[in-house]
Chains A and B, each alone.
Chain A
């Protein structure tokens, strides 16, 4: 089946710095990537949908200037958390449609971001 590789799996950064999270589709072309955020003991919240070669579509309430999404190729989508603050500490996870299966979505393994 399809595999999405997400890196890093965890990162600790200082307040005010930026962090980039990468999701690569290893054996298929991901034209669309979904980015989610999950706070402890809460569910996945969709942040944005990225499409290869075009601007991302952000969900209501998500700051597009703070969470920069780039989907420059069919195999790579990145999320950059800019000027990170402790309240940005969360679990970030990407997902894409697995067109090889009728009802398949493939998830990355997630990134635990801690801002200190």
Chain B
């Protein structure tokens, strides 16, 4: 089966740093994605990891450990507009390259 787990909800303070974890057990693996989603809207791409290590992109960084089936998204200098759902998604290794999404984390940024 496919299991991709995230904390359901997190709360953080404006200006702070927050780390959102994602653990996965999937039948195949060909990269891990992080998306941001506001309610009723399409997901917006944030980052992609296929090799172990840290990928940095402005205020957002993402880390991957394939041996541990683990990733995290790090958000720095939090802003109120960062309040949203954050979804990790694993691309399977099959021919279709389908994305399987994790359970999602709803982040609330407080003043």
Write the residues of chain A forming the contact surface with B, with a CB cutoff of 8 angstroms. Answer: 32, 34, 36, 41-46, 49, 51, 57, 91, 93, 95, 97, 103-105, 107-110, 112
Contacts and interface: CB of A to CB of B under 8 A. Distances in A.
Contact of A44 (B41, B43, B45, B96): B43
A45 B101 CA distance: 7
B45 A104 contact: yes
A4 B82 CA distance: 25
14 contacts: A32-B97, A43-B101, A43-B104, A44-B87, A44-B89, A46-B99, A57-B96, A95-B99, A103-B45, A105-B99, A108-B42, A109-B42, A110-B41, A112-B40
Interface residues of B, number: 22
Given A32-B96, A103-B45, A110-B41, 15 more contacts: A45-B101, A46-B98, A46-B99, A49-B98, A51-B96, A91-B40, A103-B50, A105-B99, A107-B42, A107-B43, A108-B42, A109-B42, A110-B40, A110-B42, A112-B40
Contacts of B103: 42-43
A49 B48 CA distance: 22
